[in-house]
Amino acid sequence: MRSEQQRIGIALETLTSGLFPFFERELREVYGEGWEDAARASFRGQSSIATQSGKWDAYAVLSVMWDQWNAVFRHRLGMAERSLVSELREYRNRWAHQDLFSDDDSYRVLDSAQRLLNAIGAKEHAMLIEERKIDVLRNILGRRVNDEIAAARFNRARIVDVVLYSICCLAISVTMFMLFGSARFVPTLIMIGFTVFVFAFLIYKRVTSDTPVYGVHECPKCSKIIYSEVCPYCDPPHRSSSIIKNSSSLRFPPFTEQAIRSNPHA
């Protein structure tokens, strides 16, 4: 299963492949054979693959489209497409910086890329994007169905436990009252109260417990395989800064350091 980072990378490659013929044609109409020089001027000294090797990537194409919008692209596209270009540029920058993405982010990128490709008439590339959108939706719906099934099973088990706790509490209380109620009324009431309190606490803990996640599963945020309920990649454990500071400031007394040097195998 692809990670969201990989999905977005493939989506950007497909977007660039579909945009480039339109991109080149529109720039040629305005600047002629000097279109590449005019396009490279849009980077204003920023490094880009396009300025180094002539290969136009998503960053280069989207940056030029944004910068040359009024001069070139506004004649064929509207403000809605300009917003798509801005949004896709932002996601591309996040992708280049290895940010974490959710499946919702992947769907948003794919949907925006498909809309932009449809606007310029790149139907074939738009269909490729749509297939990947369906794949993301399938993953989202599959995970949601699995979560709902797991929650339903857990709720049924919780109801069974609550019923059993209630029956046990009632049976123990009635039995103690029938056996000792007439002879030792007050101690019996105390024991019955204690029993009711214990079972009420158990019922409360069972009712308020969250649905557990068992076994190896995929993190819904970063799509990495994890073995615990809390993802160590999205929510890494943080040691207390005071503990780290104290541990870094620890120093052996002089006689201890000398003993360690003299007997390193101790």
User: Does residue 228 lie in a domain region?
Assistant: no
> Which pair of structure tokens corresponds to residue 19?
């945009």
Amino acid at 214: Y
CA distance 38 to 237: 50
pLDDT (tens, 9 = 90+) of the chain, 266 residues, equals 457 888 899 999 999 999 999 999 999 998 888 888 888 887 765 545 454 555 788 888 999 999 999 989 998 999 999 999 999 999 999 999 988 888 889 999 999 999 999 999 999 999 999 999 998 888 888 888 888 888 888 889 899 999 999 999 999 989 988 888 778 888 888 998 999 999 999 999 988 887 766 555 666 666 666 656 677 777 665 544 444 444 444 444 544 444 444 554 44
Q: Say what the pLDDT of residue 217 is.
A: 60
Q: Say what the pLDDT of residue 152 is.
A: 87
Q: Of 244, 260, 241, which Cα lies nearest the Cα of 252?
A: 260
How many residues does the structure list for the chain? Answer: 266
Q: Say what the pLDDT of residue 43 is.
A: 72
Q: Does residue 89 contact residue 97 with C-beta atoms inside 8 Å?
A: no
Q: Residue for token digits 């029956």?
A: 167
Q: How far apart are the first and last CA of the chain?
A: 51
Amino acid at 76: R
Q: Are residues 87 and 156 in the same domain?
A: no
> Structural domain of residue 27, as residue ranges?
4-121
Q: Say what the pLDDT of residue 216 is.
A: 54
Tally the domains of the chain. 2
Residues in a beta bridge with 217 = 226
Cβ contacts of residue 192 below 8 Å, gap of 6+?
A: 173, 176, 177
Q: Are residues 37 and 86 in the same domain?
A: yes
CA distance 226 to 230: 8
Q: Of 85, 80, 83, 79, which Cα lies nearest the Cα of 23?
A: 85
Q: Does residue 187 contact residue 177 with C-beta atoms inside 8 Å?
A: no
User: Does residue 155 lie in a domain region?
Assistant: yes
CA distance 221 to 244: 29
Cβ contacts of residue 217 below 8 Å, gap of 6+?
A: 225, 226
User: Does residue 227 lie in a domain region?
Assistant: no
Q: Are residues 105 and 173 in the same domain?
A: no
Q: Say what the pLDDT of residue 34 is.
A: 86
User: Does residue 238 lie in a domain region?
Assistant: no
Q: Are residues 15 and 117 in the same domain?
A: yes
Q: Are residues 155 and 114 in the same domain?
A: no
User: Does residue 247 lie in a domain region?
Assistant: no
